[in-house]
Structure 1
């Protein structure tokens, strides 16, 4: 499974938002500068996250974005699904309850795909945004990899 820039950048932006929106809304411009992600791309990502109910936008001179819920209530899985869609690396019609695979009855590989899919979903659903924020506070900055920097 390989995540696109939507998932990678969106998660970084959301961690940044969680770190900086405790007091006031955070602007796209400030996230863009700290994370080195274009404002235009961030606007697209925030729109997707807003539609999924993960962030809220605040209008006005001091406007920006805030989390729609506490960071302890937002899983990495929820964020990645909002940005990427399904996280399943293998789509198997044999696992679809509506059917669709002629070989489903005799196919044993569907059990491999199910375990892989379940494992990925369980892993990302067990990581919370608040955990990543805390981890970020404990990670020193390495200029070569800005995603690891304290902001």
Structure 2
């Protein structure tokens, strides 16, 4: 099972929306918030993290907005996820017993090594997937 945090999920939505307007126009967060029914405050927090990570850029002012810092051909989905994952396991065991990113049975779990390895392999795979390639799939 892949378990994305709300931040990771909405961050991918944010870069997807910006990629659709790449080299066309600045995109106000309010537009994205309205279209996807996401809290503008939550979206602002995500955008700040992504600006500091060098994934997106902001232009302030009346006609301001956000745009991708990289071409969608070179921006990797893994970069976006890693900005928010903070070593959290995205893949977890089928029991789904993760709480706040930790499993209460981790100390004696005999399968944790394989789940960690699969998690790292998943992140490596999405590190090779460009945003442009990702956008070919329907959201």
Specify if TM > 0.5. Answer: yes
TM-score by length of 1: 0.69
Identify the residue that residue 102 of structure 2 maps to in structure 1.
none
More helix by share: 1
Identify the residue that residue 83 of structure 2 maps to in structure 1.
82
Structure 1 residues 114, 63: closer, same or farther in 2, change over 3 A?
same
User: For each residue in 1:64-115, what CA deviation from the matched residue of structure 2 results, as whole angstroms up to 9, or x when unmatched?
Assistant: 001111111111111011022225459xxxxxxxxxxxxxxxxx97863553
Structure 1 gaps, min length 5: 91-107, 140-147
- Count residues in correspondence: 120
Distance 2:136 2:111 in 1: 39
Identify the residue that residue 134 of structure 1 maps to in structure 2.
136
What are the residue-to-residue correspondences of 1:91-130 with 2, within 5 Å? 112-113=114-115, 115-130=117-132
TM-score by length of 2: 0.75
Structure 2 gaps, min length 5: 92-109
Relative contact order (alpha carbons < 8 A, sep ≥ 6): 1 or 2 greater?
2
Identify the residue that residue 72 of structure 1 maps to in structure 2.
73
